[in-house]
Amino acid sequence: MATPVLVVDDSGMSRKLVIKSLPADWNVEIHQASNGQEALALYREGKAHVIFLDLTMPVMDGFEVLEALKREGFNAFVIVISADVQPKAQERVKELGAMAFLKKPVKADEVLHVLKEHGLL
C-alpha cells in the first residue's frame, strides 16, 4: 500500500523541490498543503503518515503545526525542511516531536538518509 505523504510549504516551487527529492522507488501517495491549517485538516483525514513541514508560513506556521500534532497524539513522522537554520529552531522542532531537520534547499541524498535512518524505506 502506498504511504500517504504530506508536503507542507507556502511556496509551490518549494513543494515541487521536496517532491522531486523523494526516492523514485518509494511507493507514496502525495498530498500538498500551503499552510499549517490545511496541513492539519489533511492529517486528520489520515493523509499524512510522513509530513515534510516548512516552518515560516502564513496563517499557521510549522511550530504551531507541531504543537497541534502534539495535542492530537502525534501519529506521523515529521521531517522539518526549513530556511530558518538557527540551531535554536532545530532544537525547538525536535523538542516538539519532529523526527529530523533538513536545511533548504533540500537535497535528495539527505532525504534518503533520514528515511532510511528511521526505517521508513
Q: Which is nearer to another protein, 6 or 14 (CB)?
A: 14
Stretch that binds another protein, among 41-49, 68-76, 81-89, 113-121 (CB under 8 A): 81-89
Stretch that binds another protein, among 8-16, 40-48, 69-77, 109-117 (CB under 8 A): 8-16
Determine whether 6 is exposed, middle or buried from the number of CB atoms within 10 Å of its CB (0-12, 13-18, 19+).
buried
**Residue 53 is a binding residue for another protein (CB under 8 A):** no
Kindly identify the residues of this chain, within the stretch 11-50, that bind another protein according to CB under 8 A: 11-14, 16-17, 20
CB 93 within 8 A of CB 66: yes
Stretch that binds another protein, among 24-32, 45-53, 67-75, 78-86 (CB under 8 A): 78-86
**Residue 108 is a binding residue for another protein (CB under 8 A):** no
